[in-house]
Structure 1
Amino acid sequence: MEMRVDMPRAETGRSGYLPKERLAVWLLFLMNGFMVGNWAPKIPEFAERLDLSKGELGLMILVFGIGSLVMMPVAGMQIARLGGARVSKITAVLLLPSILALTFTQNVPAAAVALFLFGGFVGGMDVAMNANAVAVERKMRRAIMSSCHAFWSLGGLIGAGIGGYLIEHLGTTVHAAVATVMAVVMLAIAWPMVHADRPVHHADTPTRFRLPLQPLPWLVGLMALFSMVPEGAVLDWSALYLMQDLGATTSIAGLGFAAFSLTMAVMRFAGDLVRDRLGAVLTLRLCTVTAIIGMLAASFAPDPLMVIVGFALCGIGISNMVPIAFSIAGNLPGMAPGVGLSIATTLGYSGILFAPSTIGFIAEHTGFSAVFATLPLLLAVVLALSGLARYADAGAHEEAVTQDA
């Protein structure tokens, strides 16, 4: 007998049920990733124009991260008041001129302000579009979060690829103009289709935003943090690990993160189908165990090939851990989605922003192999908390959906 997860499906007999809302949230993720992707190839020209040293450039990039972390809770507060759709649109509009601003700033103070706002609007929109994705998941009663994050990665890839080509061949001004126009088109297509989710107010919860005292949202934030620290470690240190610890060439060293990124992207597009069939709890557990095996394989591998295989397994595992954590955060009982999501995104992205420097300091004394070998301990915490993924399943919110209708 076939085992099925008890998750009601959304009137599958009616073709085209909510395709526009799903397409709209995909486009929001695509646009956000596209804007971030366009920043990456600008960094060398940005540093040269402002005559920044490597240390000064590092501080400027840190300003971007601080802007994101500051604006994420603010976005959560506004989502609790206005809903994810309205905040997504507002932050998206504010984000549009960012590449232009970063292109035409001519002094460090103005560039720092531009970077802070760029990071802030990217982070604020991130929280809001995740909240809107949760609302669409509730409406459809099926998972879409993994594919949303896949479209963010696709947007980053498109932005970086087009941006690098335009900067090299047509200059920074043309690049900024083209990137802005493309982002405007994405937002314009999505705008009328965005699912108009409403603020969620509970009778026993004050409407004014404040950080919750109950441990549940903080545990989910811890899950997001411990899922994203290993991702940041592979992003920043995999190539150096392959070169310094295993003697790989430069071309081979780049394959570690490439393999990780490839399997992550593929599995994020497939993740919604897997989660609908298996349920969020089992999917999260399988992903976490796969990530642990991959990270251990990479840390104890005797040659570069096995390290690359290990990182590919890590990509398969980590791919759907963060999307599921965000779905949990947006569906916590008795809590507005923006509140839970602001905690999860702030803690999660702080792992990618600040953990790599800590890892570098530790690796200087222990080697990268030892660092990668300890990262599964963080993943084991996620595995221990995986039962919380029951909140991510749309079927658990049938009553909430009925009340909102």
Structure 2
Amino acid sequence: MPDRMTLPPRAARFATFLIFGLNGFGLGMWLVHLPNVEHDIGVPHSVLGLLLLVLGGSALVGMQVVGPLVDRIGPRRLTPAAAATFALSLTVPGWLTSWWSLGLILIVMGFANGALDVSMNAHAVVVERGYDRPIMAAFHAMWSVGGALAAVVGAAALNANVPTGVTLGVTGLFCAALSLFAARFTIDADHHRRTEETVATEAKPAPKGLVWILGFLALALMLSEGVANDWAALELKGVLNASASEAALGYGAFAVAMTVGRFATDRVAAKIGATRIVRYGAAIAAIGLTIASIAPWIPLALVGYALFGIGLSGGVPQLFTAAGNLDHRSAGALMARVVGLGYVGLLAGPAVIGGLTRLMPLNAAFAVPIVLCVLTVVFASALDPREDNELVDQRPMRNV
């Protein structure tokens, strides 16, 4: 087995890409087959909604439990373990016949996915410290690519009438095997040969208020992302009378723009800094969603959703990196707070908009994410106030 202290960061970077992609692929395959699981078990939408709340709640618990463990044990072991556990949980739902058994496996699935969300982002921060440039956004782009690939593979499996249990079972075993393979190349924070004295000198205790500001920004941006995921197609159909195929293009424009934007974000962040990525990105997102909300024509609305996706693409990775670098000694716990608040926003966004539609038109309810994006513009300097005056190198570590 290779010496982990001498492994090149490229190997750890590849492992991180792989784990992010596998997580996006596994979640995508689960979502594509969710209607089949609901039908096979025979539960109504209301019961399925409650079961999905269980999934989300257990994910939040997993995030908060694993955060401190990352600081104690390190992301090297926790990341592939959480990835493999999540993958194996996918092998079960397709064979179940009762709502309570589905609820039990969703507790495991949610906890493992929440644990993975924190640990893989913590591992990504560690890997990024070995480079003299930002690389976090590309990891999140791979998650999006995994989800897109799942949509294609899942659709093909459904068209071929492959049993749900077989498809999810093969998916889970495939993802688990690759997760364990990736474990060979994961690293811990000590990979860069930094002594405890160096860490103590470089990383002062993080201001308590700062992590909550980062968490609020993550909540704002991920709530906005959740709104696009769940309501873009419905807004086009309900407001502009788009056909089903035209309405689907709303989410498509958003998702493609976000993926492309994430691949481009790292290079831009290296030139202008994380603060400007978050600030200008949120401004573009606010403009884009405003255009989509008031556009009288479908093509113009699609342009708005594309701008919305580009604007949101780079913000969350920068926030996660900032949280992981506030204090190297408690990076996992701090990241768990920021990731957890962001996840709350992702879950709450669709529900908030849905509630407001009882009082106002859907496109008017989009004022909520627009305002949150504007607030993100205002508070973006929390990432590093010095960037308002000069471009600073937030990652001083040399390439190993």
For 1:250 and 1:232, locate their aligned partners in 2 and report how far apart those are by CA, in whole Å. Answer: 20
Are 2:146 and 1:155 aligned? yes
Are 2:368 and 1:364 aligned? no
For 1:35 and 1:271, locate their aligned partners in 2 and report how far apart those are by CA, in whole Å. Answer: 25
Q: TM-score, normalised by structure 2?
A: 0.89
Q: Cα distance, 1:395 vs. partner?
A: 3.1
Matches within 5 A, 1:112-261: 112-169=103-160, 170-198=162-190, 214-261=208-255
1:177–1:394 distance in 2 versus 1, CA, 3 Å: farther
For 2:168 and 2:296, locate their aligned partners in 1 and report how far apart those are by CA, in whole Å. Answer: 45
Are 2:268 and 1:274 aligned? yes
For 1:99 and 1:334, locate their aligned partners in 2 and report how far apart those are by CA, in whole Å. Answer: 33
1:313–1:146 distance in 2 versus 1, CA, 3 Å: same
* Structure 1 SS opposite 2:257: helix
For 1:32 and 1:51, locate their aligned partners in 2 and report how far apart those are by CA, in whole Å. Answer: 27
Are 2:326 and 1:320 aligned? no
Q: Cα distance, 1:159 vs. partner?
A: 2.3
1:359–1:81 distance in 2 versus 1, CA, 3 Å: same
For 1:203 and 1:331, locate their aligned partners in 2 and report how far apart those are by CA, in whole Å. Answer: 13
Q: 1:30 aligns with which of 4, 14, 21?
A: 21
Q: Cα distance, 1:168 vs. partner?
A: 4.1
Q: Cα distance, 1:186 vs. partner?
A: 2.5
For 1:177 and 1:376, locate their aligned partners in 2 and report how far apart those are by CA, in whole Å. Answer: 40
Q: Cα distance, 1:373 vs. partner?
A: 2.9
For 2:343 and 2:232, locate their aligned partners in 1 and report how far apart those are by CA, in whole Å. Answer: 19
* Structure 2 SS opposite 1:365: coil
* Number of the residue aligned with 2:393: 395
Q: Cα distance, 1:171 vs. partner?
A: 1.5
* Number of the residue aligned with 1:66: 57
* Structure 1 SS opposite 2:70: helix
For 2:300 and 2:159, locate their aligned partners in 1 and report how far apart those are by CA, in whole Å. Answer: 36
Q: Cα distance, 1:213 vs. partner?
A: 8.2
Q: What one-letter code is carried by the residue in structure 2 that aligns with 1:227?
A: L
Q: Percent identity, please.
A: 32
Q: What one-letter code is carried by the residue in structure 2 that aligns with 1:23?
A: F
Are 2:256 and 1:262 aligned? yes
* Number of the residue aligned with 2:34: 43
Q: Is the Cα–Cα contact under 8 Å of residues 124 and 136 in structure 2 kept in the other structure?
A: yes
For 2:349 and 2:101, locate their aligned partners in 1 and report how far apart those are by CA, in whole Å. Answer: 28
Q: What one-letter code is carried by the residue in structure 2 that aligns with 1:305?
A: P
* Structure 2 SS opposite 1:110: helix
Q: TM-score, normalised by structure 1?
A: 0.87
Q: 1:373 aligns with which of 360, 367, 377?
A: 367
* Structure 2 SS opposite 1:364: coil
Are 2:324 and 1:330 aligned? yes
Q: What one-letter code is carried by the residue in structure 1 that aligns with 2:394?
A: A
Q: Is the Cα–Cα contact under 8 Å of residues 353 and 366 in structure 2 kept in the other structure?
A: no
Q: CA RMSD in A?
A: 2.4
Q: Is the Cα–Cα contact under 8 Å of residues 118 and 335 in structure 2 kept in the other structure?
A: yes
For 1:240 and 1:396, locate their aligned partners in 2 and report how far apart those are by CA, in whole Å. Answer: 41
Q: 1:57 aligns with which of 44, 48, 51?
A: 48
For 1:173 and 1:376, locate their aligned partners in 2 and report how far apart those are by CA, in whole Å. Answer: 41
Q: Cα distance, 1:203 vs. partner?
A: 5.8
Return 5+ residue gaps in structure 1 as ranges. 1-15, 205-211
Q: Cα distance, 1:394 vs. partner?
A: 9.0
* Number of the residue aligned with 1:105: 96
For 2:263 and 2:178, locate their aligned partners in 1 and report how far apart those are by CA, in whole Å. Answer: 20
For 1:31 and 1:129, locate their aligned partners in 2 and report how far apart those are by CA, in whole Å. Answer: 11
- Cα deviation 1:204-257 (Å, max 9, x = unaligned): 9xxxxxxx9811111100010000111111111111111112222221111111
Q: Is the Cα–Cα contact under 8 Å of residues 84 and 198 in structure 1 kept in the other structure?
A: no
Q: Cα distance, 1:17 vs. partner?
A: 5.9
For 1:171 and 1:318, locate their aligned partners in 2 and report how far apart those are by CA, in whole Å. Answer: 37
Q: Is the Cα–Cα contact under 8 Å of residues 163 and 179 in structure 1 kept in the other structure?
A: no
* Number of the residue aligned with 1:12: none
For 1:179 and 1:268, locate their aligned partners in 2 and report how far apart those are by CA, in whole Å. Answer: 25
- Cα deviation 1:287-327 (Å, max 9, x = unaligned): 11111111111122122222111111000100011111111
* Number of the residue aligned with 2:342: 348
Alignment length (residue pairs):
379
Q: What one-letter code is carried by the residue in structure 2 that aligns with 1:130?
A: N
Are 2:278 and 1:287 aligned? no
For 2:394 and 2:310, locate their aligned partners in 1 and report how far apart those are by CA, in whole Å. Answer: 26
Q: What one-letter code is carried by the residue in structure 2 that aligns with 1:243?
A: K
* Number of the residue aligned with 1:6: none
Q: What one-letter code is carried by the residue in structure 2 that aligns with 1:152?
A: W
Q: What one-letter code is carried by the residue in structure 1 that aligns with 2:154?
A: G
Q: Cα distance, 1:105 vs. partner?
A: 2.4
Point out the more displaced range, 57-66 or 192-201: 192-201
Q: Cα distance, 1:196 vs. partner?
A: 2.7
For 2:200 and 2:186, locate their aligned partners in 1 and report how far apart those are by CA, in whole Å. Answer: 27
Q: Cα distance, 1:101 vs. partner?
A: 1.5
* Number of the residue aligned with 2:3: none
Q: What one-letter code is carried by the residue in structure 2 that aligns with 1:182?
A: F
Q: Is the Cα–Cα contact under 8 Å of residues 77 and 183 in structure 2 kept in the other structure?
A: no
For 2:95 and 2:48, locate their aligned partners in 1 and report how far apart those are by CA, in whole Å. Answer: 17
1:304–1:269 distance in 2 versus 1, CA, 3 Å: same
* Number of the residue aligned with 1:89: 80
Point out the more displaced range, 102-111 or 228-237: 102-111
Q: Cα distance, 1:358 vs. partner?
A: 1.6
Q: Cα distance, 1:334 vs. partner?
A: 6.6
